[in-house]
Structures are given as structure tokens and as C-alpha cells.
Structure 1
Amino acid sequence: MSHIFESDVVAAILHHMNDDHAADNMLIARAFASPSDLPITAAVMTDLDGDGGVWQITRAGLPEELRVAWPSGSITERREVRREIVALYDDACDALGEEPRPHD
């Protein structure tokens, strides 16, 4: 069973991702969503657990859920979430041929 993070932890991470990293959400969605002729026009991170992150993506005005597993496998610690999201971002950049920005 997947690790469930405390609701305040999830809320803080979602707030950060959706307010400070909206472009990263789109990049991750474009890289990991199933192929389609319809472009993704929106991506919002809606949940996460020890096995991965969840985004609501929109194509042609229709929402769909995208679940992406953490690259390193299951996690249980809040500090591991950042590492995994950064890895997803890097993997997305690689898949799309984008130059990733430096991580601090």
C-alpha cells in the first residue's frame, strides 16, 4: 500500500507546485500523458502519495487524470518529494528535448 502523506504536507506541496511551478506541471504533463492529437492546455497537480504524483490535465476542454510514478520508486519522507519532482522535471525535459534549468 502506498504511503499517505499528512494532508497539510500534501496541501503545501500542491500550493507550491501550482503557484510557483505551473510551467513545470505543463512540461511534466506533456512528457508523460498518453499520446493524443489534442494538445494539453492546462495541468494542475492535484494529489500525491508515496508512489507518485497526480495531475489534472485538460485537452480540448475535457479534464483527465494523469498519474506519474516517482522515478526512484516509492517514498515515505516529505524531503523525498522534492527530489522526485525534480527528477520528473528532468526526465520530462529529456523526453521533450528541452534544456532543464539548474536546480538549487
Structure 2
Amino acid sequence: MPHTFDDAALAGILGHMNNDHADDNLLIARAFSPLPDVISSEMVAFDGAEGQWRITTAGGGEEIVAVPWPGGEITERREVRREIVALYDEACSRLGVPPRPHG
């Protein structure tokens, strides 16, 4: 069973991703969704195994896209950032978008 993060970690990371990295959420969703027409995305959950994004398609459909962490299972809050950055980098590669530097 994957590690479960506490409510503070979930609220902090989800709030940060949705308020400060909305473009990254969309990029990740477009790269990893099986649907070709993703127009919006919001990170809605994560655990030790994966992140989950709610996507909306051009036709108005909604779906949850679960993307496993590239580095495997995690158990610490600080590891979530590393894995999201890795997903972002992979999304850029898949979509042919130059990644921005990570600070």
C-alpha cells in the first residue's frame, strides 16, 4: 500500500501546484493523458506511488489521470517536489517543449 501523506502536506503541495504552477499541471496532463484534447488540469491528489490530475477536455469531459512517480515510491514530503520536477521534465521532452531551469 502506498505511503499516505498528512493533510498539511496535501494542502500545501496541492495549493502550491494549483496556484503557482497551473501551466505545469496542464503540461503534465497533456503529456501523460491518453486523451489528446486536454484544455485544463488541476492536481487533485498524490500519495507515495503517484500524482493525480483532474483534466478537462475540449469536449467538456472530465477524467482523473494518475501518473506514477518516475523515481518509484516515496515516503517524504520533500521527495514530492523532486518527482513533480521529474514529471515536468519528462512532459517537456514528450511534448517537445524546452524546460525552464529549476531553482
Return the TM-score normalized by structure 1.
0.96
Aligned residues: 102
In structure 1, the partner of 2:62 is 63
* Rounded Cα–Cα distance in structure 1 between residues aligned with 2:82 and 2:14: 15
Matched, 1:83 2:82: yes
What's 2:8 paired with? 8
1:35 deviation in Å?
A: 4.0
DSSP 3-state at the match of 1:56:
strand
Could you list the structure 1 runs, at least 4 aligned residues long, displaced by more than 6 angstroms after superposition. Answer: none
- Structure 1 residue 62 displacement after superposition: 1.3
SS at match of 1:66: strand
Task: Give the corresponding residue for 2:21.
Answer: 21
Match of 2:101 in 1: 102
Deviations along 1:63-100, whole A, 9 cap, x unmatched? 10100000000000000000000000000000001000
Distance between the aligned counterparts of 2:102 and 2:40, measured in 1? 24
Gaps (5+ residues) in structure 1?
none
C-alpha separation in 1, matches of 2:85 and 2:6 = 21
1:16-74 deviations in Å (ceiling 9; x for gaps)? 000000000000000000043xx111100000000010000011111101000000000
TM-score (norm 2): 0.97
Q: CA RMSD in A?
A: 0.7
Aligned amino acid, residue 70 of structure 2: P
Question: Using the alignment, how far apart are the partners of 1:24 and 1:63 within structure 2?
Answer: 18
SS in 2 for 1:61: coil
- Taking every aligned residue pair, what percent have the same amino acid on both sides? 56
d(CA) in 2 for partners of 1:35, 1:47: 20
